[in-house]
Amino acid sequence: MRLLAVHAGQRYRFLNIDPSTRDGSLVITIRREGESSTTYQWGTRPEAQTPVQVNLPSGRPKNKKITIHQSGRINFHELKRSIYIEPLTAITKTACIYRYRIPKISRLIPFNSVPAAEDCDFDLSTLADESFSFSLFIGPASVSSNTHAVKLAYLNKYALLVALDTDTYIPPSDFKEHFVTLKPESGTIGSQAMNENQALIAYHQALNETRELIVYGPNGDGVWQVVFAVPMRTAPKLTIEFDDPTLYVDEKDIDQDLRVATAMVKFKVRSRTTKAVVKTPVAFRSISLDAEL
């Protein structure tokens, strides 16, 4: 989805927020136009307050990308750095994960298309066309917002809040006309508290309000997906029995993605008669997983 700033009758591109269909992690893109060959970096510590020029690979887009993983690891792709917060489905503390300062609202990228149904307006109409800064927070679903904020809640467990700062960030004097992004030195915890596969399972269990094994499918290609009840020691052997004896699963149709092989598996069902993939729902007698303890 797109979060579009609205000011003086004009919509502007602001942020893209895209949940992962695999595990619900949030991918945030700070929308900017064009490319950069240099940038400047500085910090709030006394020894880091002087901006330092950094030469960039040719033609790097000005967009900034952040991934908030279900595990609580937050990746800042441009900087190749990470901070850590609590796992999203178990989050109790609100964390500021990013700040974004703009020199003027009208310097954002105009959006002149028809918004999609999932797009959301961020109404800044009561503000002057001048410099402002915004903060991105991630916290429990109950996190509160002010009058100039957009809150996106997920699973009644966690929420992303984009809010106008009460006090606008002021950059070094030579950079007043620049767009500025700021990341915190650290998160609310010092290291990753949950591994990726456990976080994936926790997300799907919260989504389905269960602690048991979860089965999805089939999709349009006839693919079923099984999310395990707990992470397995190794990628398990999948055994499926059907109510209909004319159905079967061929080993070549079992997809165990190495990244998540101890948390989920995908497969297709075929007809013994035609060998064709069955793309309609079928009844399972049993699904068993053997990790060979």
**Could you state, in order of their start, the residue ranges of all structural domains in the chain?**
2-194, 212-290
**% residues pLDDT > 90 (the chain):** 86
pLDDT digits (tens, 9 = 90+) for 25-70: 999 999 998 988 888 888 878 888 889 988 888 778 999 999 999 9
CA distances from 125 to 6, 111, 114, 148, 248 (A): 6, 15, 19, 10, 60
CA-CA distance, 56 to 22, in Å (whole number)?
32
pLDDT digits (tens, 9 = 90+) for 81-97: 999 999 999 999 999 99
**164 near 130, Cβ under 8 Å?**
no
CB-CB neighbours of 53 under 10 Å: 8
CB-CB neighbours of 96 under 10 Å: 18
**CA proximity to 17, closest of 95, 169, 86, 120:** 120
pLDDT digits (tens, 9 = 90+) for 228-282: 999 999 999 999 999 999 999 999 999 999 999 999 999 999 999 999 999 999 9
pLDDT at position 192 over 70: yes
Structure-token pair, residue 71: 């595990």
Handedness of CA 198, 202, 203, 205 (dihedral sign): positive
pTM: 0.92
Structure-token pair, residue 171: 């950059």
pLDDT at position 117 over 80: yes
pLDDT at position 203 over 80: yes
CA 205, chain centre distance (Å):
18
pLDDT digits (tens, 9 = 90+) for 131-183: 999 999 999 999 988 779 999 999 999 999 999 999 999 999 999 999 999 99
For 248, phi then psi, to 5°, come to -160, 165
The whole-number pLDDT of residue 293 equals 54
CA-CA distance, 286 to 103, in Å (whole number)?
60
pLDDT at position 106 over 60: yes
**35 near 44, Cβ under 8 Å?**
no
Handedness of CA 198, 204, 206, 210 (dihedral sign): negative
